Amino acid sequence: MIDLSGRAALVTGGSRGIGAATAILLARAGAAVGITYRTRRADAERVLDEINADGESGAGRPVALGADLSSRAACDEVIREAVAALGGLDILVANAGVWPATDVPIREMGDERWSRTIGVNLDAVFYLCRAALGVIGSGGRIVVVSSTAAQRGEAFHGDYAASKGALVAFVKSLAIEVAPQVTVNAVAPGWVDTEMCKETFARDGGAGKREIERAIPLGRVATPTDIAGPIVFLCSELGRHITGEVLNVNGGAVLCG
């Protein structure tokens, strides 16, 4: 039912986790796909190999673009490269982000950590969207990956919660500005079984993950594909009348306080 043939999509942070799963599903739906990575070229190549192994469905070969998206110049350049490689741009999935695993109270948080988190999680999305809006035409889609932390906060990770909360406000503002030509939405995952969360899950011999799962009504943390599916839905014609929304994908965790 989801056919993205003839559409060109860029997924940031596409070398692993949610980004990789999203890129693979977009390609399976027929889109021409580009992904960005910062340092992990080998991981990005493996994602491209998996897409190619699935068959190209007439979409053309996927591409991987290396960039540190915390700078305006890098974001501008990666959009230019994506357009050149894919023949245009219809879909932007702003997924790249950081979650510093170390618990740090606000009163002890250093400037470097705060600036790095805001730069990667918020500033880069602004730069990317600003650049992309010059090339995405009518019927375009922008999906930003936020977090449940945006809505409920996260003690000792105030930098992360603040960056993701700002993304929600940004999405709602941008959705109004670019309607009706482009839809802009956010997907807010809860805990996801990715490398980003590996350290937390492994605490006390795996007790960290089990404790988290007990607080999720569906009884498990999400897989990357659990998050990628709703993203692809929002990129499709099935989601054409949704804009400025936050789609929570957390197994019901936010219902439990």
Catalytic residue check, 164: yes
Catalytic residue check, 160: yes
> With contact defined as beta carbons under 8 Å apart, do 185 and 234 qualify?
yes
Q: Per the residue annotation, which of 127, 146, 164, 236 is the catalytic one? A: 164
Helix (H, G, I), strand (E, B) or coil at 1: coil
Other beta carbons within 10 angstroms of residue 208's beta carbon come to: 15
* Size of the chain, expressed as the number of residues it contains: 257
- Encoding tokens for residue 133? 């809006």
Q: Per the residue annotation, which of 70, 127, 160, 236 is the catalytic one? A: 160
Q: Per the residue annotation, which of 147, 163, 209, 236 is the catalytic one? A: 147
Buried b (16+ CB within 10 A) or exposed e, 126-163: bbbbebbbebbeeebbbbbbbbbbbbeebeebbbbbbb
Cα–Cα distances in angstroms (integers) from residue 71 to residues 63, 121, 137, in the given order: 21, 12, 24
Are β-strands 63-66 and 32-37 bridged in parallel, bridged antiparallel, or unpaired?
parallel
Q: Rounded to whole angstroms, how far apart are CA atoms 247 and 193?
A: 19
Catalytic residue check, 209: no
Residues designated as active site: 147, 160, 164
